[in-house]
């Protein structure tokens, strides 16, 4: 499970997902679109349906990557503990893994019901630019997966769309097409 707002999903997300899948020989990596992420309550998000459509476009036919609407089907705030509990109910024999950027790993103690996350899933940390030293706190079992460090941020990408700057090689062509078709991130007027 690799959760996020994916506003928009970019090549950094995809590179992390495919590298974790390969390194751990996972059957599938679910890119779980957060419905109402508690960490992002400070800003307005693109509607969840649009973010899901972009993730679906991003993963396309990439083997072992799937877009997931599991959090969109559940009302209220999105918490990893709830998502893992649901995945465990549906797939009781599956070994669950949570994929985190190193910045998010350092913040695990602040997560809602963090102890449940620790009990239900293994933690895998991928490095994100600017937070290379982030790691889970003591008491967490985790492993690191090295991925190419791509300095791509969704915040910058939204600004690039708004300003009309190039997005080539930062987003996949299907994601660019989805953004254009939905009129996302454009400045008013």
Write out pLDDT tens, residues 143-163. 999 888 788 999 999 999 999
**What is the rounded CA–CA span in Å between residue 159 and residue 10?**
14
What is the CATH number for 133? 3.40.50.620
Instruction: Work out the average pLDDT over 15-34.
Output: 96
pLDDT at 189 over 70: no
**Domain presence at residue 189:** no
**pLDDT at residue 101, as a whole number:** 86
User: How far is the CA of 166 from the CAs of 157, 159, 170, in angstroms?
Assistant: 9, 11, 9
**Domain presence at residue 185:** no
pLDDT band at 37 (very low <50, low <70, confident <90, very high): confident
Residue 88 belongs to domain spanning: 2-177
User: How far is the CA of 143 from the CAs of 98, 100, 117, 139, in angstroms?
Assistant: 11, 11, 15, 13
**pLDDT at residue 130, as a whole number:** 56
**Domain presence at residue 187:** no
**Domain presence at residue 89:** yes
pLDDT at 187 over 80: no
**Domain presence at residue 184:** no
**Domain presence at residue 85:** yes
Task: Convert the pLDDT of each residue in 88-136 to its tens digit.
Answer: 999 999 999 999 988 788 889 889 999 999 999 999 999 755 556 778 8
For residues 4 and 33, is the Cβ–Cβ distance under 8 A? yes
User: What's the number of domains the chain is made of?
Assistant: 1
CA 154 distance to own-chain centroid: 11
pTM of the predicted model, to two decimals? 0.92
**Domain presence at residue 79:** yes
**Domain presence at residue 186:** no
């Amino acid at each position: 499970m690799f959760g996020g707002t994916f506003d928009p999903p970019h090549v950094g997300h995809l590179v992390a997902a495919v590298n974790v899948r390969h390194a751990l020989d996972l059957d599938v990596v679910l890119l779980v679109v957060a419905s109402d992420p508690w960490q992002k309550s400070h800003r307005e998000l693109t509607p969840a349906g649009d973010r899901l459509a972009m993730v679906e476009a991003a993963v396309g036919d990439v083997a072992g990557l799937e877009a997931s609407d599991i959090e969109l089907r559940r009302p209220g705030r999105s918490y990893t503990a709830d998502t893992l509990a649901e995945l465990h109910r549906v797939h009781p024999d599956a070994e669950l893994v949570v994929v985190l950027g190193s910045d998010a790993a350092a913040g695990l103690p602040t997560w809602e019901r963090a102890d449940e996350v620790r009990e239900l899933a293994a933690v895998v940390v991928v490095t994100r630019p600017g937070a290379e030293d982030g790691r889970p706190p003591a008491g967490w079992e985790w492993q690191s997966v090295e991925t190419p460090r791509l300095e791509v941020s969704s915040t910058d990408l939204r600004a690039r769309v708004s300003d009309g700057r190039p997005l080539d090689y930062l987003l996949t062509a299907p994601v660019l097409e989805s953004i254009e078709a939905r009129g996302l991130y454009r400045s008013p007027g």
